[in-house]
Structure 1
Amino acid sequence: MEESSPRRKGLVLAALCATMFMAMLDNVIVNNALPRIGEDLHAGISGLQWVVEGYSLVYAALLLTGGTLGDLYGRRRIFLTGLALFTAGSAAAALSGSIGMLVTARLLQGLGAALLTPGSLAILRHVFTEERERARAVGLWSGVSALGLALGPVVGGPLVDTFGWASVFWINVPIGVAGWVLAVSVLPEFATRARRIDAPGQLFSALGFGSLVYALIEGPTRGWGDGWVLVFAAVAVLALGAFVMVELRALDPMLDLRFFGDRVLGGAALTGFVVSFGMFGATFFLPLMMQGLMGWSPSDAGLAGLPMTAVIVVAAPLSGALTSRGGPRVPLVAGLALCAVGLGGLSLYGADARYPEYVWVLLTMGFGMGMTFTPVSITVMSRVAPEQAGMASATVNTLREVGGVVGVAVLGAVFTGRMSAPLHEATEAAFVEGLHLAVRCGGGALAVTAVVVAVLLRPGRGGPVDGPAGVRASGAGRQPEITVS
């Protein structure tokens, strides 16, 4: 089969979409299982946080490394390795008999996701070379990824009710195996540019992001003045500072810091970070509220997310079309604003709220999320040189993941002072009060970011990204720029 044939391209896109759908689904499908996991494995809020954040810890710490390894040893090879590790970690999670075993399995899943995620978007860039064709492919890839996030609660609830909490991990195994077999058959391997191994950059990035995520996870539980939390926070500051200094001086850096000098890329990266901050923080505790305080079953709590799923399916391709025609400014700003309105609206309802009263909140949040995913990916792939696609993809995904961890940490900081006991022993008033305060903070951050991104991406502020101020090192392999409007 010709590598450039439509059928081969379609199969490549199917393999990449299936694996990214699985990885994104796993980000949130676990949330609906948390109450049952807590009961069966005798875990409190801190232990449940680690089930979610253990994955994020490794994922965020090693994403940049995953992008670099793909550049060095082949994106297909590293992608397949990551997919195999993720699938194995899913099986191990399903078989876990203690909270410690489950968290360890989640760390393995995070390692696999860190290896496969950067290569996925970079392979798309290589296979789909024509601009409009690539925009459609990236739009579909982003839409499927967003759909995985939206379907997680919908699928997770019935699975937990019918087969138990382990089923939210077992579901990954057949998808992972089928995706790996298809990927082995159709994914091309392509030459990567010769580069030096940036060992200091690898070390400082993993140490810095890993320590940052650890401090954010443990801060709400141990207290922000706890000695270990302060130690890890200090290590994060020092390591990330050293990482920036090393990358500024490196002949072949793992992260080209000129990426952030491009106002459009900077706006897209900021959007990804803040949307994850607000939305992941909210979705972590919503299932606990619905099941623990409102008395909903996991299935009911999952089905409540169907409206959000439906509007994401509509918004993702719409935002891709808007970006292709007029640039990312309108969909990014609109998506941020809608997410802000949705989180603000969520703070109007308590444990006695009826579903028809707040379903508009879920519709608004879903549409906002759907409007941001595709433009961010299209922007990154349109404004960097092909050889930097892995680095750019890893950078944006690192910021998204860290944003989600920060969001959960903010909610944890609000809740922990009121709820050191398991959920069913916590007072309803304290839970609702903490949730309201946290989502208002998230909504405020999204609203401010919408204004910042609107300013960054306004027309007429500078020209294309070239030379020392931009990400591109040369004109080789240059693709047409997207319009900023």
Structure 2
Amino acid sequence: MSENMTGARRWLILIVLCLATLVLVVDNMVLTVAVPSLTESLHASAQNIQWVLDSYILVFAGLLLTTGSLSDRFGRRRVLIIGLAVFGVASAVATLASNPGELIAARVAMGLGGALLMPSTLSILITVFTDEAERRKAMAAWTVVAMVGLVGGPVLGGVLISHFWWGSVFLINIPIAALAIVSAVILMPESKGPWRKPDPLGAILSIVGLTSAVWVIIEFPKGFVRPGTLGALAVAVVALVSFGIWETRIAHPMVPLQLFKQRNFSGGSFSLALVQIGNGGLLLVMTQYLQFVLGYSALKASLCFIPLAIAALIFNTLGAGLGMKLGNRPLMVSGLLICAVAFGILADLGVDDGLTKLFVGLFLLGAGSGLAMPAAITAIMGAVPPEHAGVSSALNDTVQQTGAALGVAVMGTVVTSRFTAGMPADVTGIARHSLGEAVGVAHSTNNSVLLESARNAFTHAASVAYVAGAVGVIAAAVVSFVVLRDSKTPVAPADGEPGTEAGTEPGTEAGSADGSLVPAEA
């Protein structure tokens, strides 16, 4: 195969990886739009709906580390294809669900498919694109697709729900998954890490610990001091601490925790966690602002996020070129600071503000994310040896998923508490604690005073949440500036000493001959 053909094949493989990522992101977002419709059709209770949403998250997050290790052991392409197949079949089952229990079971299976699929996409990307310049462009494209799916999912969901039944939001997963499977079989080479002994105890501890931790995060807004929540927290702490101790004691650990000794991996991971905590609740809060405060329909509200997607597309592309000239750290710091400015603008939104301020804030958020996120992931995955690509990708995914879930819980709690505190003392019942209920009561009773009070209280509560988001991304910028290091040009050895890279320290990453980054041996 010629070099040109080899290059063309790499970019075709990237399209497959983007399709695989798109099916996950779009599914997660369109479901939020379908909730009212499926609630009515399946006669689902509030608890049923919560399990429809949370069952997927629990399985997905709980299995990530184990499935990442499996992809390294048994083949990343094989695990990717299995994940796509499971996700596609489970989506078909979901469209046929006739009661909440069947839909919840289908969502559990979709969580399993997603957990198999997600680590494989990023690990295949970094093993296929070994040249740093190409890897940056590929990472930018992969991130753009994720951002477009994040923003476009609710838009697509709104269109589907307005013309078809609620199951159509799951039906769209099937052709995308099928196309990705066929393309993977035809185009993708298989890759795997060196053989290692199985680590069943590590797998069990990671699944129990991560699932319990995500459960605690989900239950946190309902009240932390509850027997079930405290019990889950105790299980999470014991399991995760035991997992960490076990993985450092055995000869062939499932997860190479020594990766966290590398500045780029640990600093990038911690920065991403902080960013996701800040961004995690953005769509949740902003969607309520657009629909309940400004009175937009679900479709019109989702269209307001288009500036975010456009900015992400532009600055992801721009960042791929700038990364080669400036390095990851400057892009991360500058991008995160732009995100902080965006949160500041959104925090100033009022009840009667037009769309100009909103669009400027969302555009800047997309621009900052477009610069920072690909640089962060490139720094993290550039510090990973190829044999650990799958489990390291899973670590990265786990950090982001946990941060996003924590962000939703924290920002949701902040908004709810501030909304309740801001409501007049004479407002009682559920309307005092829920914007949607307050707006519903106000419309049904033609109570304009209650409506205005609810809109003002929520807008103030959202401002507090956005300020918290700004603090999170500023903290991430500080971590990035202090911890991250960019590789420098190799310098000649002096006085017979081994050659080093300017600016690198023992134990940090050094450039390999093929242009990829591998850990320096101590």
What's the TM-score once normalised by structure 1's chain length? 0.89
Does the C-alpha gap of structure 1 residues 253 and 188 become closer, same or farther in structure 2, counting only changes over 3 Å? same
Asked if the contact 1:89–1:109 (Cα under 8 Å) also holds between the matched residues in 2, the reply is: yes
What corresponds to 2:309 in structure 1? 309
What is the CA–CA distance in structure 1 between the aligned matches of 2:302 and 2:105, rounded to whole Å? 26
What corresponds to 2:181 in structure 1? 180
Structure 1 SS opposite 2:296: coil
Q: Does 2:292 align with 1:265?
A: no
Asked if the contact 2:147–2:312 (Cα under 8 Å) also holds between the matched residues in 1, the reply is: yes
What corresponds to 2:465 in structure 1? 438
Cα-to-partner distance string for 1:283-326 (whole Å, 9 max, x where unaligned): 12322332244321121011111111111110112222222222
Deviation of 1:480 (Å): 4.4
Q: Does 2:480 align with 1:479?
A: no
Deviation of 1:153 (Å): 3.0
Structure 2 SS opposite 1:196: coil
Which residue identity does 2:77 align to in structure 1?
A: R
Does the C-alpha gap of structure 1 residues 113 and 38 become closer, same or farther in structure 2, counting only changes over 3 Å? same
What corresponds to 1:335 in structure 2? 335
Q: Which moved more, 1:230-239 or 1:117-126?
A: 117-126
What is the CA–CA distance in structure 2 between the aligned matches of 1:440 and 1:241, rounded to whole Å? 33
Asked if the contact 2:202–2:243 (Cα under 8 Å) also holds between the matched residues in 1, the reply is: yes
Q: Does 2:36 align with 1:24?
A: no
What is the CA–CA distance in structure 2 between the aligned matches of 1:193 and 1:481, rounded to whole Å? 15
Deviation of 1:359 (Å): 1.3
Asked if the contact 1:315–1:367 (Cα under 8 Å) also holds between the matched residues in 2, the reply is: yes
Deviation of 1:232 (Å): 0.5
Q: Does 2:482 align with 1:455?
A: yes
Q: Does 2:419 align with 1:407?
A: no
Q: Does 2:437 align with 1:425?
A: yes
Matches within 5 A, 1:270-285: 270-285=270-285
Identify which of structures 1 and 2 has the higher relative contact order when contacts are C-alpha pairs closer than 8 Å and 6+ apart. Answer: 1
Asked if the contact 1:24–1:149 (Cα under 8 Å) also holds between the matched residues in 2, the reply is: yes
Asked if the contact 2:22–2:149 (Cα under 8 Å) also holds between the matched residues in 1, the reply is: yes
What corresponds to 1:112 in structure 2? 113
Determine what percentage of the aligned residue pairs are the same residue.
36
What corresponds to 2:11 in structure 1? 10
Which residue identity does 2:483 align to in structure 1?
A: L
Deviation of 1:125 (Å): 2.7
What corresponds to 2:426 in structure 1? none
Structure 1 SS opposite 2:58: helix
What is the CA–CA distance in structure 1 between the aligned matches of 2:356 and 2:46, rounded to whole Å? 29
Which residue identity does 1:439 align to in structure 2?
A: Y
| Number of residue-to-residue matches in the alignment | 478
Deviation of 1:353 (Å): 3.4
Structure 2 SS opposite 1:5: helix
Deviation of 1:215 (Å): 1.0
Does the C-alpha gap of structure 1 residues 357 and 125 become closer, same or farther in structure 2, counting only changes over 3 Å? closer
Does the C-alpha gap of structure 1 residues 325 and 164 become closer, same or farther in structure 2, counting only changes over 3 Å? farther
What is the CA–CA distance in structure 1 between the aligned matches of 2:43 and 2:411, rounded to whole Å? 22
Asked if the contact 1:35–1:288 (Cα under 8 Å) also holds between the matched residues in 2, the reply is: no
Cα-to-partner distance string for 1:136-192 (whole Å, 9 max, x where unaligned): 323322332232223223333323333344333222121111111111222211353
Structure 2 SS opposite 1:205: helix
What corresponds to 2:234 in structure 1? 234
What corresponds to 2:251 in structure 1? 251
Asked if the contact 1:138–1:374 (Cα under 8 Å) also holds between the matched residues in 2, the reply is: yes
What corresponds to 2:291 in structure 1? 291
Q: Which moved more, 1:209-218 or 1:125-134?
A: 125-134
Structure 2 residue ranges without an equivalent (≥5): 421-428, 439-453, 489-500
What is the CA–CA distance in structure 2 between the aligned matches of 1:284 and 1:37, rounded to whole Å? 19
Task: Give the superposed CA RMSD.
Answer: 3.0
Deviation of 1:430 (Å): 4.5
What is the CA–CA distance in structure 2 between the aligned matches of 1:358 and 1:350, rounded to whole Å? 10
What is the CA–CA distance in structure 2 between the aligned matches of 1:39 and 1:266, rounded to whole Å? 46
Which residue identity does 1:408 align to in structure 2?
A: V
Deviation of 1:49 (Å): 4.9
